[in-house]
Structure 1
Amino acid sequence: MTTLVVGATGATGKQLVEQLLRMGQTVKLIVRPTAKIPETWKNNDRISIIEASISQIRVDEMIAYLSDCQSVASCLGHNLNLKGIYGKPGKLVTDAVKLLCTAIQKSSPDKPIKFVLMSTTGYRNRGLRESISIGEKLVMGVIRLLVPPQLDNEKAADFLRMNIGQQNKAIDWVVVRPDTLINEECVTEYELYGSPIRSALFNPGKTSRINVGNFMARLIVESSLWDNWKGQMPVIYNKRS
């Protein structure tokens, strides 16, 4: 199985790629021409690297890149600096999701392509009417105004929920929502929930990036796990000791 990964050189994207390789998968990466690519990736026969800015890829080009892929995973995010937060492209994640979905649907695959999108517990799944406190609503409103990437992440997940939906013939999807991301060396036990069990702002949990990568890779590889979460937005926390 071949998976197209975007956002592969980010802190979580690297973990996803390594987990896919550990599970015997082949990966195709779209990375910025200026991205720092691990040397071990350059010499790996199971990795194909496409150097391109995803915001400049045309639909017909993306169709070609997807021609031998059975799954797609996005760990795209904005760099945490002034240019990354307030510069262009402001809708990096949303536009990439739309591009990928358009290309998948125009390619008319024989069976649905799996699409796994990394999001955040700061996104509320309105399809489940997930409730938050008034205080959290006020703070999130301010964050959306002052930190554009938050709104970008929300619109990307909303596009899958509302525009692709549950019965699309070309695309099946899962949106993975980690809480506060931390770095750990090894995969540890983690817990999965259909909705957040704590406040992302006032009582956040922790999720290691390697655990996010492991869960996203398992969704792609393990059919039973995929069937369990298809069309949903699971929340992942590191298991509490």
Structure 2
Amino acid sequence: MGRFLVLGATGKTGRLAVRELTRRGHGVTAVVRNKKTLADLGLNKVKQLEGTILDSFTDEQVQDMVSDADAVLICLGHVLSFSGIFFPPRRLVLDTLKKVASAMDGGKKKKRIVLMNSNGVRNKSTGEVYPLAERILTGLLYFTLPPHADNVEAAEYLINEVGEHANVEWCCVRPGDLLDGHENEDYEVVGSVDPSKGVVLGPWKTSRFQVAHFMASLGEGGKVWEDWKFRTPVIYSPALGA
């Protein structure tokens, strides 16, 4: 069985990723803001580290965490409050991603990063085209909404800076609007958004469970990983829209 490090483990999607990995028999280390947050899951075998990668652990400690893991699942998101959106850390995802990738850089074994992102982030490197109205809207969001800019820059960091690194493999998962419940595997994964259906204004929807399930499958490696590594797949549920 594999060993996984989950960041953002107390968030709505991160909790489900921890649960899914343990269901599959993997060892999990979860970085949490408060150890009590996962108590209701009854996951006694999950190792919990209280704090955040940016503020609570040195570079050396992060290197130790990463060295013990086959894959790192990053399910971070900004708290949806005025301070959570507009106050530091304004680049929570990007700066955490950089610290994790740097910790992997000198390793002898390839490591996997699975990043939860958003289908509102366009992969320009593949020539992905969004409708004009969507490009204008996401451009406005980039300059006015720090969490969106954070997601954009995190994805671009993986694509342009990490690239196809010798020691760091990655996948940037882009779900549609996230919904609670709907704990089934009725989802599809595609390489890019269908521009005819829109993006931010479109019907694309995904359940948090489905995102967690797909991220866990990516982290395990195998064919799923080979199909999607170094890519930015879009995950959505046809039953929920789109």
Q: TM-score, normalised by structure 1?
A: 0.93
Quick check: 132-141 or 224-233, which moved more? Answer: 132-141
Query: Mind listing any 5+ residue stretches in structure 1 that lack a counterpart?
Result: none
Give the corresponding residue for 1:138: 136
TM superposition shift of 1:202 = 2.2
Give runs of aligned pairs for residues 17-32 of structure 1, distance below 5 A: 17-32=18-33
Over 3 Å counting, the alpha-carbon distance change for 1:178 and 1:41 in structure 2 is same
Quick check: 80-89 or 127-136, which moved more? Answer: 127-136
**Contact in 2 for aligned 1:2/1:27 (Cα 8 Å):** yes
**C-alpha separation between the residues in 2 aligned to 1:210 and 1:192?**
14
Give runs of aligned pairs for residues 5-154 of structure 1, distance below 5 A: 5-32=6-33, 34=34, 36-40=36-40, 44-45=44-45, 47-56=46-55, 57-106=57-106, 108-110=107-109, 112-154=110-152
TM superposition shift of 1:20 = 0.7
Count residues with an aligned counterpart. Answer: 236
TM superposition shift of 1:109 = 2.8
Detail structure 1 runs of 4+ shifted over 3 Å in the superposition: 40-43
Look up the equivalent residue of 1:180 and give its one-letter code: D
Query: Mind listing any 5+ residue stretches in structure 2 that lack a counterpart?
Result: none
**C-alpha separation between the residues in 1 aligned to 2:42 and 2:96?**
24
Identity of aligned residues (%): 33
Give the corresponding residue for 2:161: 163
TM superposition shift of 1:127 = 1.3
- Give CA-to-partner distance per residue, 1:9-35, whole Å, 9 cap, x none: 101111111111111111111112x46
TM superposition shift of 1:140 = 1.2
Give the corresponding residue for 2:230: 231
**Contact in 2 for aligned 1:31/1:49 (Cα 8 Å):** yes
TM superposition shift of 1:40 = 4.9
**C-alpha separation between the residues in 1 aligned to 2:104 and 2:206?**
30
Query: Is 1:175 aligned with 2:172?
Result: yes
**C-alpha separation between the residues in 2 aligned to 1:109 and 1:213?**
28
Look up the equivalent residue of 1:130 and give its one-letter code: E
Over 3 Å counting, the alpha-carbon distance change for 1:43 and 1:14 in structure 2 is closer
**Contact in 1 for aligned 2:53/2:62 (Cα 8 Å):** no
**Contact in 1 for aligned 2:15/2:38 (Cα 8 Å):** no
Q: TM-score, normalised by structure 2?
A: 0.93
Over 3 Å counting, the alpha-carbon distance change for 1:94 and 1:35 in structure 2 is farther
- Root-mean-square deviation (CA), in Å? 1.6
TM superposition shift of 1:38 = 2.1
- Give CA-to-partner distance per residue, 1:175-233, whole Å, 9 cap, x none: 10000100115223101100012311222311000000000001112501110111111
Look up the equivalent residue of 2:125 and give its one-letter code: G
Look up the equivalent residue of 2:98 and give its one-letter code: K
**Contact in 1 for aligned 2:169/2:230 (Cα 8 Å):** yes
Look up the equivalent residue of 1:184 and give its one-letter code: G
